[in-house]
Amino acid sequence: MDENEKLGILAIGHGSKLPYNKEVVIDIANRIAERHEDVVVKAGFMEKNEPTVEEALQSFEGTGVSKIAAVPVFLASGVHITQDIPEILGLDPETKKGRIKLNGSEISIVYGNPLGSDELLAELVYNRACEALD
């Protein structure tokens, strides 16, 4: 990324009637922001929670971001990942890229993959198993 660019990250959660689910996504967003102070991080939700994805996207207004990476905080792909979120973000279905009006100009938005299978997640599952066994 160009050193003159300011990155925004939109962490997208599913949303739930249970408050804990929202809190987890917000906490993940906050942890990213704490570790990467030069990045503006927001969280938005597909359903049942606020801010919505659209509201979270608009909340980058005035932050000076020049590019946004939207990342679903979901384990695997489903209809929300492959269709709903890209449609809400106005992304090209092939490239997973788009542009939005923000700060009086158009900025680019890119779309990340869901968490998927990863060594970090495997280790976390192992840690949770060990906690349960203690």
Residues marked as catalytic: 14
Q: What is the 3-state secondary structure (H, E, C) of the chain?
A: CCCCCCEEEEEEECCCCCHHHHHHHHHHHHHHHHHCCCCEEEEEECCCCCCEHHHHHHCCCCCCCCEEEEEECCCCCCHHHHHHHHHHHCCCCCCCEEEEEECCEEEEEEECCCCCCCHHHHHHHHHHHHHHHC
